[in-house]
Structure 1
């Protein structure tokens, strides 16, 4: 879909197609936002060492 000229702008979160498909925002500033904040990993959990 990203290469189809008729769908130009599908990556924009304001796009009707983007919203209808429930796509995530592909903008770089949103890369590290959790998809489902309610199921996000507890940041105080720590790191498990091997």
Structure 2
């Protein structure tokens, strides 16, 4: 969809298509924001190394 000229602007969170599809904001400044903060992984949990 990002490369279809008829959908130009779909990445904009104000776009009706973006909102109807429930897309996340694709702006670079938002790339590392948590999608669902209530479901976020506990930062104190650490990592498993196998």
Question: Which band: TM-score by shorter chain?
Answer: 0.7 to 0.9
CA RMSD of aligned residues (A): 1.1
Give the C-alpha shift of residue 43 in structure 1: 1.1
* TM-score, normalised with respect to structure 1: 0.84
Give the unaligned 5+ runs of structure 2: none
Q: Which has the higher helix share?
A: 2
Q: What is the aligned length?
A: 50
Q: Which runs of 4+ in 1 moved over 4 A?
A: none
Scaled by the length of structure 2, the TM-score of the pair is 0.84
Q: Deviations over 1:5-27 (max 9, x none)?
A: 11100001111100000001111
